[in-house]
Structure 1
Amino acid sequence: MRPRIVVFIPAHNEEKSIRDCLAGLGDQSLPKDIELDVYVIADNCTDRTEEKALEAGEEFHLNLKVLVTENNKLRKVGALNTAWKYLYGDVLDLYDKKLTPFQEFYKQSIKAILGMDADSRLAPNALTYLWDDLMSARNIGGVMAKYTMRMPKKKSLLSKDDVHYEEKIASGEYGGPISRWWTHQQKQDMASWLLDLQYRGGSTYVLGGQATLFRPEALQDVVDRNKLDGPWENESDVEDMLLTWQLQKSGWKTLISPHARCFVDAMRSYHTYREQRNKWKSGTVDLLTNRDLNIRTRHTGKLWRSQAKTFIDLIVRLIFISLVAVSLATDQFYWNWIWLTPIVIASILNMMLAIKTPMHRPIDVILATLLISPEIYLWVNLVTFSQVWLEKLSANSSNGWDKQYAAEAGKTRSKLVQGILFCIFILLIAAFCCFYFRDYLTSESVKTVIQPYLMAGWITLTCLTVFEMLCMLHQIWTLRGRHKA
């Protein structure tokens, strides 16, 4: 039996996207003497995912099989493990069924397993690049493709007289200015992450589920060492990161490919983005703080430093806003041109990131240089960071998958408008109080009391800002390299 790559594609109600995903596999040029088998796991589907997958398999001449799950309560993890058990057997089977001789031969012929999301699409030749990277050394357990968010087409290009107008809008293929802006911010964020990993040697702390090629022996090693019935666990909202850490703990390398690219869908609105990032960040914090799992990797320190960096970003902005507000209210505000230094450095950094982001638009570079887009995007992430840690410290747990699914299905609504209105209301009250009590606030007695605290605050802010400037200068230095996102 010829050696082969098998593909696992968990698909929950993905009738609109599964064809495009399979079309990308049909475009691939396979390595010499390698065959490709595709397994689509129609997971608790209530739409025509199975039918559409079979049609696409015939259209693109794929050796495709659909596995159907019912009452799977473990979502993506359960779907992936269903495919694993189908090929490698179920250790929890009460009857201890043995694989047939053909199944044993087939299992031995599997040299790599590609895990993909149903809304992802591999770029041409990506599978060959992933294969070459995986086979370049015996101790490589998994290789992840570079991810690039797909920009939705302009909604204005659609004619409202088009009889398929509503259907095309619902497909997510088109979007307005806001959804296109959100997509680019996520794409630039991903580009920054990929560039940082490549600068540090290409080792990654998470093999993303959108498109990662695994060595079967590595996955089997995780199963045996942790006494699991499948490589993927439901112990975390970030099952792909947990699996990556388990691979590294077992001595396997986890890398990103320098050349393979995969196009993935982005979150198109503030609400869906927040719920997705909430799940990701909450899962990461759980892995970092969960002593029961007893998993540490060489990237643990980096992740903690990232958490500290985000906390400093939040503190710097809160201190700056507080100091400026108090200084203006007490008539002790003095402008200094040196304040422009961190702004200029941040502008240069974000301009470089925007330019290095694949398929960027001129407007994206302009908004990044003016710091409009990066600052808005950062504040959204700071809100998410605060929410995650407040929930962690209060011991309130929530199911990230349920919230993300509900947001994507339109079952929940964002509270962004209420939040903005509340902030405006607070600002108006503060401005009114400052105006009404101006004589008291600007009196010498109040200035004398406030001045030492203001001075201490400005000194603290200066130290934190200098630290952040050094971090930005280091990032600018790394971006000059030859690496591409």
Structure 2
Amino acid sequence: MPGVKKSYMKPRIVALIPAHNEEKSIRDCLAGLNDQLLPKGVELDVYVIADNCTDRTEEKAIKAGEEFGLNLKVIVTEGNKLRKVGALNSGWKLLYGDIMDFYHIQLTESQELYKQSIKAILGMDADSRLAPNCLKYLWEGLMSGRNIGGVMAKYTMRMPKKKSLLSKHDVYYEEKIASGEYGGPISRWWTHQQKQDMASWLLDLQYHGGSTYVLGGQATLFRPEALQEVVNHNKLDGPWQNDSDVEDMLLTWQLQKSGWKTLISPKGRCFVDAMRSYHTFREQRNKWNSGTVELLTNKDLSIQTRHKGKIWRNQLKSFSDLVIRVLFVVLLSVALATDQFHWSWIWLTPIVLASILNTILAIKTPMHRTIDVIFAALLIAPEIYLWVNLMTFSQVWLQKLSSNKKDGWANQYAAEAGKTRSKLTQGMLLGTITVLIIGYVCFYYRDFLTSETVQQSINPYLMGGWITLTYLTILKSLMMAHQIWTLRGRHTA
């Protein structure tokens, strides 16, 4: 870093914050850094990378840096086509030099001293905010072992404020609603589902040793030597790669391949924004899931993770959830239509287990509301949320099997910018019409469908289907019982 004196070369943490049109969130992000208690003798330098911005991100970042007394520098990128990956690597090259530079300019003596003084690199999003002491906890985790390459904060989705608290006469009413700072009941409910989903994932990682297969880009503290090893081993010009829609997961796998441990912090918390609508959520999950499937199946990337078996089991779990629900709907419909439905109280067992499991998860979710626990116990919210995720799961694998590759980042950006719209209304309308037509046909041909001939011909298939569903449900019930038993532990999300 030009102009830095030797006397200034204390051990330091460097924060790299890529920011594309983040004028509304960058101050809050920097305010969170101002709240941090730094390790003794360690300083913090902040680099905000204003990436292809068309708003006042640079101006707002500089102003906030001055307000909070941060040692802050803004890096402005223009023409970067690699989005977040390109922005992060721009910050990396500023610190460690650009080996791809045609003239390969050597670092000055001051720059070399500065590079040697960097003991940790914090990668975080511009719309994230570290909770007080989070950086201290991440640092303690990173320094607890020489072989730890990165430590991730525990993420908690920020709940929008009640929309009813905002006066419609407020001149900034529309702007505040659009920013997601305030939201209605559906937005707040949807945010909690994502928060509970994240809590469930974090708890699962902690109960299995704290090792993670993805160091999330929202807030992770890296060891510079580990990142440099990824660069050197893979012959890259920066640690982050554009070969995957989940660049943070790809980097994590590369760190593990080189022998570095990747952990989550048991105490450090970071508050992140949730997707406030069905459409933006679907596009984000499509990007995450398609990127994960690509890493699992793309042999050209030649990387492995010790968690690969666990990730495949999660995929199989989603597939089994889908099969059970589709099979149940089909069997129930056929049984009712042919008057062969027989209720059994034993079917309440998986429902009760699911209710207990989701209630525990709702209670263990940070800053939960009473209404969230009630909805979880009634299985209303979890079941709706699960169906949305199963639709995403199906879409991702259908795209994979059809080799229909899409740009996940571009789709998510377009959805968040309001350039694309959800087809949820059309889908619900089509589904309702389909159900009504099937119901009418079943009622009109009721005598035929309930005749002994039809019942006898359908019965073997119906019984086979119910037996298959029973075995799958027993397996799923055992898995839920095991998860309930595991959640009795002391870990928190």
Picking from 230, 238, 246, the partner of 2:254 is: 246
Structure 1 partner of 2:397: 389
Residue 119 of structure 2 aligns to a residue in which SS?
strand
Look up the SS of the partner of 2:460 in the other structure. helix
Paired residue type of 2:73? K
Amino acid at match of 1:179: S
Written as runs of structure 1 = structure 2, the 5 A alignment for 1:336-415 is 336-415=344-423
Indicate the percent of aligned positions where both proteins have the same amino acid: 78
Write the distance in 1 (CA, Å) between the matches of 2:170 and 2:272.
Answer: 27
SS in 2 for 1:141: strand
Q: CA offsets per residue over residues 187-223 of structure 1, 9 Å max, x none?
A: 0000000000000000000000000000000000000
Indicate yes or no: 2:258 matched with 1:258.
Answer: no
Corresponding position of 2:3:
none
Supply the AA of the counterpart residue of 2:89.
Answer: N
Residue number in structure 2 paired with 1:425: 433
**What secondary structure, in the 3-state scheme, does the structure 2 residue paired with 1:67 have?**
strand
Segment drifting more, 193-202 vs 168-177: 168-177
Counterpart Cα distance in 1 of 2:176 and 2:232: 46
CA distance in 1, matches of 2:175, 2:20: 19
Matching residue of 1:46: 54
Q: SS of the residue aligned with 1:64?
A: strand
**Residue 111 of structure 1: aligned partner:** 119
1:96-107 superposed matches below 5 A: 96-107=104-115
Matches within 5 A, 1:160-179: 160-179=168-187
Structure 1: distance between partners of 2:50 and 2:262: 28
User: What amino acid does structure 1 have at the position aligned with 2:123?
Assistant: G
Alpha-carbon offset, residue 167 of structure 1: 2.4
SS of aligned partner of 2:123: strand
Query: 2:279: which partner in 1?
Result: 271
What residue identity is the alignment partner of 1:328? Answer: L
Residue 292 in structure 1 maps to residue 303 in structure 2: no
Q: Report the secondary structure of 1:324's partner residue.
A: helix
CA distance in 2, matches of 1:71, 1:311: 41
Q: Which amino acid aligns with 1:137?
A: G
Q: SS of 1:39's equivalent?
A: strand
Counterpart-to-counterpart distance in 2, 1:285 and 1:318: 22
- 1:32 corresponds to which residue? 40
Q: CA deviation at 1:163?
A: 2.2
Q: Which of the numbers 258, 282, 300 marks the counterpart of 2:290? A: 282
1:256 partner SS: strand
Distance 1:232 1:425 in 2: 47
Distance 1:168 1:313 in 2: 38
**Runs of 5+ consecutive residues of structure 1 not aligned to the other structure:** none
Q: Report the secondary structure of 1:292's partner residue.
A: helix
- Supply the distance in 2 between the matched residues of 1:78 and 1:297 (Cα, whole angstroms): 24
Report the Cα offset of residue 464 of structure 1: 0.3
Matching residue of 1:449:
457
CA distance in 2 between partners of 1:171 and 1:432 (Å):
45
146, 150, 165: which one aligns with 2:154:
146
Taking the aligned partners of 1:282 and 1:295, their CA distance within structure 2 comes to: 17
SS of residue paired to 2:359: helix
Give, as a single letter, the amino acid of the residue that structure 1 aligns with 2:470: T
The separation in 2 between residues aligned to 1:8 and 1:164, in whole angstroms, is: 31
Does 2:158 correspond to 1:158?
A: no
What does the per-residue CA deviation read over 1:132-171, in whole Å, with 9 as the maximum and x for residues that have no partner? 1100000000000000000000000011112222222222
Which secondary structure state, in structure 2, belongs to the residue aligned with residue 9 of structure 1?
strand
* Correspondence list, 1:81-230, <5 A: 81-230=89-238
| More divergent stretch after superposition (243-252 vs 440-449) | 440-449
Partner Cα separation in structure 2 for residue 57 and residue 51 of structure 1:
10
Q: 2:445 is matched by which residue type in structure 1?
A: F
In 2: Cα distance, 1:168 partner to 1:432 partner: 47
Question: What is the CA–CA distance in structure 1 between the aligned matches of 2:306 and 2:140, rounded to whole Å?
Answer: 25
Letter in 1 for 2:103: Y
| Partner SS for 1:42 | strand
Say which of 72, 75, 81 aligns to 1:67. 75
Matched, 1:312 2:320: yes
The alignment status of 1:323 with 2:331, answered yes or no, reads yes
1:339-358: CA deviation from partner (whole Å, max 9, x where unpaired) = 11100000000000000000
Aligned partner of 1:8 among 16, 20, 33 = 16
Aligned residues: 485
- Measure how far apart 1:227 and its partner are: 0.3
Aligned counterpart, 1:55 = 63
Find the counterpart in structure 1 of residue 474 from structure 2.
466
The two structures, once aligned, show a CA RMSD in angstroms of 0.5
Aligned partners of 2:403 and 2:174: how far apart in 1?
43
Inter-partner Cα distance in structure 2 for 1:166 and 1:317: 40
Distance 1:297 1:236 in 2: 15
Q: CA deviation at 1:89?
A: 0.4
2:485 is aligned, of 473, 477, 481, to 477
Q: Deviations over 1:352-391 (max 9, x none)?
A: 0000000000000000000000000000000000000000
Structure 1 residue 49: Cα displacement: 0.1
Report deviation, 1:96: 1.2
1:437 aligns with 2:433: no
